[in-house]
Amino acid sequence: MIVALAGGVGAARFLEGLINVVPPERVTVIVNTGDDIELYGLYISPDLDIIMYTIAGIVDRIKGWGIENDTFNCLDMLRTYGLETWFLLGDRDMATHIYRTFLLRQGLRLSEVVRILSKALGIKTTIIPMTDDRVQTMILTDSGVLHFEEYLVKRKARDRVRGVLYKGIEDARPAPGVIDAIMNADGIIICPSNPVVSIGTILSIKGIREALRKARAKIVGISPIVGGAPIKGPADKLMRGLGIEVSAYGVAVLYRDFLDYFIIDERDSHLIDRIESLGIKVFVTNTIMRSLEDKVRLARLAVSIIGLSRM
């Protein structure tokens, strides 16, 4: 079994390649839920949904999130009623949030809800939220403390970052199956996700980082930073705000206590010696994923590095 830690569009793209390299049922994905937010009385899980929709083959490939060919009639009507509509929710996407909220209010845990949604979408891959407890990634800015989605979507990541906190992290525990998956994995992949608000949030859950350190499987990470900038999203602003070098090396430092191998882009080959001085073996390739072929090629490299090319 391959276990992947994931969050966001970059991870979803990589995972699409991964399930074309190894059987989907041999993959378990542990997903960030720090972005989860309640809007209009609905519980929304952006990272879980991006990954579910991508693996199910129904994601909007142009935007990288949401459902393909979705309409926005519900959102238009909410706007008519005078509500803020800064978070774009399509009509079919809204159905996911309605059903998720319904199930949660019936007393089901988030991990149980994800299993139900995944089964309905025909997903063979096991998708597990990092926790069933409520954790919210909050961004400290000059304008105040903002939920990550407010910072990113509503305010277009224009506020200067002063810090990041994970509200509720002290009481959060790994969802059922998370630690077992890590400890029993044949190989572990850290997807090219935001190292602060995707992977960083997962690693902040009690027991997960420790499990990665103790895991018998080899662990490979893929840098989300190429040429000193993220492929997508505000990782550079967040890293800079926390005093972290915005580079593949900066990401490697964050993972140095458990990472065995690190895949970086060709444009960052000058960082090989610095990263390997951390005790991490570096592999260099083109990490930009524009086509399915690109995704498959990168996934195949990651799988081969951890010695699982014959799964």
* pLDDT at position 39: 97
pLDDT values of the chain reduced to their tens digit, one per residue, 311 residues: 999 999 999 999 999 999 999 999 999 999 999 999 999 999 999 999 999 999 999 999 888 899 999 999 999 999 999 999 999 999 999 999 999 999 999 999 999 999 999 999 999 999 999 999 999 999 999 999 999 999 999 999 999 999 999 999 999 999 999 999 999 999 999 999 999 999 999 999 999 999 999 999 999 999 999 999 998 889 999 999 999 999 999 999 999 999 999 999 999 999 999 999 999 999 999 999 999 999 999 999 999 999 865 44
Tell me the Ramachandran region of residue 227: left when phi exceeds 0, alpha when psi lies from -120 to 50, beta otherwise.
Answer: left
The position carrying tokens 């073996």 is 281
Say if CB 35 and CB 61 are below 8 A apart. Answer: no
Integer Cα distance of 117 and 99 in angstroms: 9
Q: What is the pLDDT of residue 308?
A: 65
Walk me through the domains of the chain, giving residue ranges and CATH numbers. Answer: 37-129 (1.10.8.240), 136-161 (no CATH), 171-305 (3.40.50.10680)
Q: What is the pLDDT of residue 274?
A: 98
Q: Residue type for 104, please?
A: L
- Tell me whether strands 27-31 and 2-6 are parallel, antiparallel or unpaired: parallel
Residues with Cβ within 8 Å of residue 211, at least 6 apart in sequence: 178, 179, 182, 183
Q: Collapse the DSSP code of 270 into the 3-class scheme (helix H, G, I; strand E, B; otherwise coil) and give the result.
A: helix
3-state helix vs strand vs coil in the chain, percent to 5: 40, 20, 40
- Interatomic CA distance for residues 17 and 250, integer angstroms: 25
State if pTM tops 0.85.
Answer: yes
Question: For residue 64, what pLDDT is reported?
Answer: 86
Residue-level pLDDT at 204: 97
Which residues are registered as beta bridge partners of 146?
A: 139
In whole angstroms, give the CA distance from residue 240 to residue 78: 37
Q: Report the pLDDT value the prediction gives residue 309, as an integer from 0 to 100.
A: 53
The pLDDT assigned to 232 comes to 85
244 is written with which tokens?
A: 């972290």
